[in-house]
Structure 1
Amino acid sequence: MLLGCIGDDFTGSSDLGNTLAKAGMRVVQYSGTPARPAAPDVEAGIVALKSRTMPVADAVRLSLEALDWLRAQGCRQFLFKYCSTFDSTPQGNIGPVAAALANALNANRVIFCPAFPAAGRTIYQGHLFVGDCLLSESGMENHPLTPMTDPDLRRWLGQQVDEGVGHVPAATVLHGPDAVRAALRAQDHRFVVADAIRDEDLLVLGQAVSNEVLLTGGSGIALGLPGNFRAQGLSSAHGPQWRGQAGPAAVLSGSCSRATRGQVERHIAEGSPALEIDPRALLRDDMTARDAAAWALSQTGLPLVYSSADPDAVRAVQDHHGSQIVAARLDAFFAECARLLVAGGVTRLITAGGETSGAVVEGLSVDTLEIGPEIDPGVPAIRVRDNLVMALKSGNFGAEDFFAKAAARLEG
């Protein structure tokens, strides 16, 4: 194994897998730290954790366990993958996890770059933009678990670590890898936010850190890494072989992001079957996973089971019942619903939302995921078993017709 990756959620990990597979690497995603060695032909291994919103100490512990396993596989470089919207709180978990990994690897300089221009995430002067909006005005300020209220990544990260945060501006990145390397050597800080406004900037950053043991960012920061390994004659560049899967499909959506709500609205407007889940009904046991699965299995076409409500409605429920209680109940609901759907014959399963996707993967006891071709930027097709394929979509990703597109791509 050449590249060892640690993702803080499942959809982000598959997003990273998509980037690496498109560039020709043989990629496998693991659900949690594996108990056995990787297959010998794996070039990039991604340990997907559900650590984004757990207590800091637990996130650090699980990330270090994943690092130990990846080091044992012989990895030459390591990547800590988090969301392209830098989802975290002022306490963590991005900063504390990155610091723990850097200490374990004796990394002297670590860049932070969640940029993903293909999906509208860019960094300029240390500030993160989503499309033409600052992060704090993009809707992410309303996230129920990690509200992003400051677009300055230097300030946000600076609250999470015990040391200052440096910066490599876009003007330097535009001058190429050598200029970036010189800027990194001149930094007084170990942690450095790097600007990126084009995919070409991510390639430059990837080349500039070819000799760094640790880097962090969104999936875009990995764009230049496969080329580094090919230049050293280490990577085959064969890429994944994909075969589709016939059979029934279903969608489970727990994301409240603007993009997902737009996809839900499009699905309903086209007359496709949809069942909305009210968290209050779950808490009263008026709606169960068995009820929802039975409804979905009785439908023709592409059934959607969703709890993707407006943020104000979600906040009202959380304020009354507690955000952790509501989140845990929804996770358990979607995990059980996925188990029942697959047991009922569903062979193509699409999920929307990082927490929802993580709950579903854990609920299905999936431990190894084969990364296939791209459906939409950042979202690959994934084979889980001989008779089950999936698409794990981050809440903010995908075009409005993503659900139908994903179902078709998974079929073949």
Structure 2
Amino acid sequence: MLRLLILADDFTGALDSGVQLAQCGAHTHVTTNLDVSFDAWKDDARESVVVVDTESRHIDPRRAFEIVRDIAGRAVKSGVPVIYKKTDSALRGNIGAELEGALAGSGATRLLFVPAYPKLKRLTLGGIQYIDGVPVSESVFGRDPFDPVRESSVAKIIGLQSTLPVVSVAEGAPILAAERREILVFDASSDEACVAIARQLGEIRETTVLAGCAGFAGHLPQLLGLRRPLPPVTLEAQGLLVVSGSLNPITTAQLEYARSSGFDAYRLTSSQMQEGIPAGPEGDRILDDIATLYGRNKRLLLYGAPPEEGVGSVALEEKSRAVAGHLGELVRRLYRRGLRGVFAVTGGDILSGVLAHMECSRMRPLCEIESGVVLSRAILPEGDVMIVSKSGGMGSREVFVNVADFIERHRAS
């Protein structure tokens, strides 16, 4: 039985929300297929969740609205009882357009939006989104080279792309009966506040269309009554290859910490990042060098110079897409040359590039190593691959060391 549809605007977001259900026993499928059919789950006895990565964070807002509206509408017609529009915890992307699209497709009167992620110190207070105690527009996300967040008011961010009324709900306030089509934005300063919101939603039985980041997705099992724990993860693959093309300074600090903690590092040149690894003997030599370095202690950082700054947002975005594609091609070539292990990929665009080149459009999230850092099984034509994913702004400073230690602890005996 299909219990829930999650709509995410990038692959890392799809995985870090879907894993919240997978860890509680739901049979969770993550796909990039925008034409996915929901009828296949009608006669399935398992508690199932489908997560669709719409890849809509950087596209035209009108098109983002249409994609979300159409998928949500098909899901409702197939009897899916709950739709969750997963958003970025820093409110990047087509927030207003996609929230309105989810509401339009669902046919519900209003959408209930909980944007906070208290475990990562991302709070909503008085309708303002805070990152580590700073309004989001003044944080590192206000300086995002592709999608800077210019406002800190959640209502204003929604209003940039939607004309729907937005009502801010103070922490602990009751949820009043709906009188019009609207979006309710809930304050939350702690995980306990999120638990209370989930409890309230369950009591009033209004869960048709919800929205939030992976933080509130962690409370969906409570709403759906999912409690079955899964057995511990065991890994056949050993070693960790980190693939990063992220511009986020949080990821930069994580790479620096891993390197200082004993990881080997292979730094790609700007030309290799933006034009790819050449074919022929020169490319073979580079691939051999990477494989040899990885074989030394099987903890390797593979990263390079980001696209040049100051070239304009459109040109920078084009260069970034090229980097994602070239890194994806590089991982494919390394894998086909026999390099095995767990691949850790930072950033939704880079992850999409890697999976596209490995001909993967479906994944099964397994567990969360730390908040926002997800271990998944990528289902490929030539065999499954274990992938750890995170967005550029997620994870502790020690995240890559923690992931490598996790792999060691969960080695299959």
Same fold (TM over 0.5): yes
1:226-265 equivalences in 2 (<5 Å): 226-230=221-225, 235=226, 237-239=228-230, 242-265=233-256
Q: 2:51: which partner in 1? A: 46
2:318 to 318, 325, 335: 325
1:286/1:212 CA distance change after superposition, 3 Å: closer
Q: 1:84: which partner in 2? A: 89
1:84-123 equivalences in 2 (<5 Å): 84-88=89-93, 93-123=94-124
1:201 to 193, 205, 211: 193
Gaps of 5+ in 1: 173-178
1:101/1:35 CA distance change after superposition, 3 Å: closer
1:219 to 2:219 alignment: no
Alpha-carbon distance in structure 2 between the residues aligned to 1:108 and 1:286: 49
1:338 to 321, 331, 335: 331
Displacement of 1:360: 1.7
Alpha-carbon distance in structure 1 between the residues aligned to 2:70 and 2:10: 15
1:349 to 2:343 alignment: yes
1:10-409 equivalences in 2 (<5 Å): 10-33=11-34, 35=36, 37-38=40-41, 40-67=45-72, 70-71=75-76, 74-88=79-93, 93-172=94-173, 179=174, 181-182=175-176, 185=177, 190-210=182-202, 211-230=206-225, 235=226, 237-239=228-230, 242-279=233-270, 282-283=273-274, 285=275, 288=278, 290=283, 293-299=287-293, 300=296, 301-307=298-304, 309=306, 314-316=308-310, 318-319=311-312, 322-344=315-337, 345-385=339-379, 387-409=384-406
Q: Is the 8 A contact 2:243 2:344 kept in 1?
A: yes
Q: What amino acid maps onto 1:369 in structure 2?
A: M
Alpha-carbon distance in structure 2 between the residues aligned to 1:286 and 1:78: 39
Displacement of 1:143: 0.7
1:186/1:246 CA distance change after superposition, 3 Å: closer
Q: What amino acid maps onto 1:374 in structure 2?
A: E
Q: What amino acid maps onto 1:190 in structure 2?
A: E
Q: What amino acid maps onto 2:341 in structure 1?
A: T
Alpha-carbon distance in structure 1 between the residues aligned to 2:222 and 2:250: 32
1:278/1:269 CA distance change after superposition, 3 Å: same
Displacement of 1:194: 1.1
Displacement of 1:287: 5.0
Displacement of 1:186: 6.0
Alpha-carbon distance in structure 1 between the residues aligned to 2:305 and 2:13: 19
- Bigger mean CA deviation after superposition, 189-198 or 266-275: 266-275
For the residue of structure 1 that corresponds to 2:299, the secondary structure is coil
Displacement of 1:28: 2.5
1:308/1:132 CA distance change after superposition, 3 Å: farther
For the residue of structure 2 that corresponds to 1:328, the secondary structure is helix
1:406/1:308 CA distance change after superposition, 3 Å: farther
Q: Is the 8 A contact 1:260 1:308 kept in 2?
A: no
1:155/1:288 CA distance change after superposition, 3 Å: farther
Q: Is the 8 A contact 1:205 1:224 kept in 2?
A: no
Alpha-carbon distance in structure 2 between the residues aligned to 1:169 and 1:370: 36
Alpha-carbon distance in structure 2 between the residues aligned to 1:302 and 1:163: 49
For the residue of structure 2 that corresponds to 1:95, the secondary structure is helix
1:70/1:208 CA distance change after superposition, 3 Å: same
Identity %: 21
1:341/1:332 CA distance change after superposition, 3 Å: same
For the residue of structure 1 that corresponds to 2:330, the secondary structure is helix
For the residue of structure 2 that corresponds to 1:28, the secondary structure is strand
Displacement of 1:97: 1.8
1:203/1:187 CA distance change after superposition, 3 Å: farther
- TM-score normalized with structure 2 length: 0.85
Please give the per-residue CA displacement for 1:242-284, whole angstroms capped at 9, x wherever unaligned: 331324431111222232111111122234222334545544x
For the residue of structure 2 that corresponds to 1:322, the secondary structure is helix
Aligned residues: 390
For the residue of structure 2 that corresponds to 1:315, the secondary structure is coil
Q: Is the 8 A contact 2:123 2:130 kept in 1?
A: yes
